[in-house]
Amino acid sequence: MARKDIPGQASLVFDVALLDLHNPKDGISIENKVVPENCERRSQSGDFLRYHYNGTLLDGTFFDSSYSRNRTFDTYIGQGYVIAGMDEGLLGVCIGEKRRIVVPPHLGYGEEGRGNIPGSAVLVFDIHVIDFHNPADSISITSHYKPPDCSVLSKKGDYLKYHYNASLLDGTLLDSTWNLGKTYNIVLGSGQVVLGMDMGLREMCVGEKRTVIIPPHLGYGEAGVDGEVPGSAVLVFDIELLELVAGLPEGYMFVWNGEVSPNLFEEIDKDGDGEVLLEEFSEYIHAQVASGKGKLAPGFDAEMIVKNMFTNQDRNGDGKVVAEEFKLKDQEAKHDEL
């Protein structure tokens, strides 16, 4: 309104709607809405948080929400990746906590604002912390039950059958073998599960029940699994080990359970023609396993193991093994055949 439009000596009436106010000396304001009773750890600088938020102005005007995008906002805190007020307001939170953070403009988007946020606006963020972790974190293992006899412990190479429930830290169920009605079966240390799960299944006895918490860098990382596991998610596995089949010494896929025959090649070469074909070799190895004289590495494709053993013996690749090619593992350390 120009001054020339106002008559001299006029009394003026202003109808004012106060949108917000702040003082340049103001800090952030925090109001705790929900704080979990069990809060074993609070966030600190350097942690990586996943949280949901609604962002409004002081008068309630909406400007942004992670809920509308159906995904959390993920960031490191205390390191300047978000506005200063949020960087400070996200420190000291618990997993599952809900709090309101009021941010003055000098700790928000300043005099210029951003997008649909006016300049010099006081911001209100209602947040819900889903989870957080630190890049230095390892897995966490809590054992809930061990049977009286817990002397045989799982190790690399063992074949395990186990049940699990997989969830997020907020309790969201991701997967369950109990629901599927069948166990999950792996060879420990063979790369068949994420590294954190492989670590969490070590030194476990049959019948034991434990909870394994896996940070994302030992789980599914920043990418997650599309449609199944959110990116950068901390995972919780409730596990019960049902069966353990002892593996073989590292580097072996087949071992003898006793003395090896001094006439091994002749025994395999049943027709005595001086040549062993894959069929003869496979028949002999499976017979030794069936009789308990030999053992194949558990959890792997038996036919594939036998074929690889044969290929290692067939040094010239002509599809047959002769006596000059045939060697046991301890006779030539660089091969894994027998």
Per-residue pLDDT at 2: 57
Greater confidence (195 vs 19) lies with 195
Is 244 in contact with 160 (CB distance < 8 Å)? yes
Rounded to whole angstroms, the Cα distance separating 84 from 89 reads 9
Q: How confident is the model at residue 8 (pLDDT cuts 50, 70, 90)?
A: confident
pLDDT(238) > 70: yes
Q: What is the pTM of this model?
A: 0.80
What domains appear along the chain, each with residue ranges and CATH number? Answer: 29-133 (3.10.50.40), 140-245 (3.10.50.40), 254-330 (1.10.238.10)
Phi, psi angle pair for 73, to nearest 5°: -95, 130
Contact 277, 319 (CB under 8 A): yes
CB atoms within 10 A of CB 21: 9
Q: Do residues 337 and 309 lie in contact, with contact meaning Cβ atoms separated by under 8 Å?
A: yes
Instruction: Kindly tell me if the per-residue pLDDT of 105 is higher than 50.
Output: yes
User: Cα separation of 199 and 193, whole Å?
Assistant: 10
What's the CA gap between 177 and 165, in Å, rounded? 7
48, burial (CB in 10 Å: exposed 0-12, middle 13-18, buried 19+): buried
**Cα angle value 90/54/128 (rounded, 5°):** 45
Query: Across 2-16, 268-282, 322-336, which has the greatest mean pLDDT?
Result: 268-282
Please give the pLDDT value at position 335: 39
CB atoms within 10 A of CB 176: 14
Report pLDDT digits (tens) over 56-104.
Answer: 999 999 999 999 999 999 999 999 999 999 999 999 999 999 999 999 9
- How many residues can be counted in the chain? 338
pLDDT digits (tens, 9 = 90+) for 250-289: 888 999 988 888 889 998 988 889 999 999 999 999 999 9
Cβ neighbour number for residue 112 with a 10 Å cutoff: 10
Side-chain-side CA neighbours of residue 195 (13 Å): 9
Confidence of residue 331 (pLDDT cuts 50, 70, 90): low
87 in helix, strand or coil?
Answer: helix
Residue 332 has pLDDT above 70, yes or no: no
Average pLDDT over residues 138-149: 97
Sign of CA dihedral 322, 323, 329, 335: negative
Q: Please give the DSSP secondary-structure letter assigned to residue 93.
A: P
Q: Would the pLDDT of 168 be above 50?
A: yes
